[in-house]
Structure 1
Amino acid sequence: MGAKAYFAVAAAAISLSIVAATPAIAAPRAAENYVAMGDSYDSGVGTRTYDSSSGDCRRSPVAYAPLWAKANSPASFTFIACSGARTPDVQKQADQLTSSVSLISLSVGGNDVGFASVLTSCQLGSDQSCFDKVAEAVNQARTTLPAKLDATYSKIKSKAPSAKVVVFNYPRLFDLGTCGLGGLSKAKRERLNQAADTLSGIISGRVSAAGFRFADLRDRFNGHGICSSAEWLNGLSWPINESYHPNTNGHSQGYLAAFKAAIG
């Protein structure tokens, strides 16, 4: 092999090795068409700051979804999460999806099993009445919720078949240390956290079956539950609808981090 030919082959080999070693570049976030769906945990209830035009849906500009959109400037951002949403409501939200949507986030299921009434019962009643109400909700979660989640995820997939879909569970609400005035007993807090774990397991299973991405919040909120020294969730609050929802730190440090990790 002549000198020129040798150097030409060597240069080609070096060029190929450089190309092979270069990691694939992720699609720019500016190309995303993002829709944030779901219930009050997505809309931002608990942050105490809402877009007045969103009415009872209580959509907050400091919820995780608009925070992500502000930082990443996607091609489009549609915020349709709404306080109080159950699976039929989220299926109606899905009517706004199109085949051009490339990124979706949501949580749903807590309202279907009556978690708000469970928390009210636990706040006002005895340990046993709390346990009984929790047991009712857990039974609903196991027997009726899976089919409701399947129908909801199927509707989303049919409307936006190419979208990357991130589904959140619900964080454990409570730290188990000493709780101040108005706090729930340790036994109630333990039982409610166990119920949240059961609900998470059900949601995770149906998310996996749908081929979506599961964003588990539990580890991220460890040490930041109600009754901790650094709460990312509101305890019993006024107005009452702010209670038992993520606060601004919960969204900016908990949900947003989990969302980023899920989408890669």
Structure 2
Amino acid sequence: MRRSRFAAYVTTLLLAVGAALAGAPPAQAATGPYVALGDSYSSGVGAGSYISSSGDCKRSTKAHPYLWAAANSPSSFAFTACSGARTGDVLANQLAPLNSATALVSISIGGNDAGFSDVMTTCVLQSDSSCLSRINTAKAYVDATLPGRLDNVYSAISTRAPNAHVVVLGYPRFYKLGTTCAGLSETKRKAINDAADYLDTAIQKRAANHGFTWGDVRSTVTGHELCSGSAWLHSLNWLNIGESYHPTAAGQSGGYLPVLNSAA
């Protein structure tokens, strides 16, 4: 009997080790309710396959929150992210699904507050000096005003969903530098990339102060920026201007989803 029990123990141990060496699939990140908040980078603008009921919010079935929910089957999934959202819009329109049972929250927010659209419009249509000036104005906003607005959103999330694991996703760099690329000058491209880093640094700091997990997409999108030859971001599209400089479906599944998987 003792040998039989010992043999069974050894067999179980060997099976466990073998499974680990073979790379057994990880447990699902969360099975409780999941709520996806934020702006167009979370709603999936640029990815296509928009949910008709989402209207101008343009929530996509190819956005990273929708893909994560499809793969992990949370007990419920509330997708309130919306194109064009600023911090105030999140507070006013997106937090209703949050409660003490919420297990996971993801959010990208802050780019519209900092004037993302106006920065890109200025840099596309005006001179290098005008582009740099507009970026400096955005940086000043990120320094002086954005932290408090992010604090308001993050505090509201914590209050409404005190037991949730919160993942704050950032923004990618837009351009691969040092390449021959039609369109914006190298000066503008570098300044826009630096501005993305500046914004991400500010958001990461506020997220850390609230005990939230930071999801940095810059590493996963590296090699797939505009001018890379394999871009996961839309370039300027005059026919569908709203999708310009947003992730494609591949950018959502290859750039954002792996970061959410890891952070969640």
By the TM > 0.5 criterion, same fold? yes
Listed as ranges, the gaps of 5+ residues in structure 1 are none
Q: State the shift of 1:26 in Å.
A: 7.2
Residue aligned with 2:102, SS: coil
Inter-partner Cα distance in structure 2 for 1:166 and 1:91? 17
Residue aligned with 2:112, SS: coil
Q: State the shift of 1:28 in Å.
A: 4.4
Name the structure 1 match of 2:225: 225
Aligned length: 254
Name the structure 2 match of 1:178: 180
Q: State the shift of 1:30 in Å.
A: 6.6
Q: What amino acid does structure 2 have at the position aligned with 1:56?
A: D
Structure 2 contact 78–97 (Cα < 8 Å) conserved: no
Following superposition of structure 1 onto structure 2, how do residues 60-99 of structure 1 map, counting pairs within 5 Å? 60-92=60-92, 93-99=94-100
Structure 2 contact 86–112 (Cα < 8 Å) conserved: yes
Q: What amino acid does structure 1 have at the position aligned with 2:143?
A: R
Inter-partner Cα distance in structure 2 for 1:225 and 1:178? 13
CA distances 1:108-160 after superposition (whole Å, capped 9, x unpaired): 00011111100000000000000000000010001101111111100000000
Q: State the shift of 1:27 in Å.
A: 6.2
Residue aligned with 1:227, SS: coil
Q: State the shift of 1:31 in Å.
A: 2.2
Name the structure 2 match of 1:245: 246
Q: State the shift of 1:96 in Å.
A: 2.7
Instruction: Give the alignment's TM-score, normalised by structure 2.
Output: 0.89
Q: What amino acid does structure 2 have at the position aligned with 1:38?
A: G
The alignment-based identity, stated in percent, is 48
Residue aligned with 1:59, SS: coil
Inter-partner Cα distance in structure 2 for 1:132 and 1:195? 12
Inter-partner Cα distance in structure 2 for 1:202 and 1:33? 28
Inter-partner Cα distance in structure 2 for 1:31 and 1:218? 28
Structure 1 contact 29–74 (Cα < 8 Å) conserved: no
Name the structure 2 match of 1:211: 211
Residue aligned with 1:82, SS: coil
Q: State the shift of 1:75 in Å.
A: 0.9
Task: List structure 1 segments (4+ residues) > 3 angstroms apart after TM superposition.
Answer: 25-30
Inter-partner Cα distance in structure 2 for 1:124 and 1:28? 46
Listed as ranges, the gaps of 5+ residues in structure 2 are none
Q: State the shift of 1:175 in Å.
A: 1.2
Looking at CA atoms only, which structure, 1 or 2, has the larger radius of gyration? 1
Inter-partner Cα distance in structure 2 for 1:74 and 1:110? 28
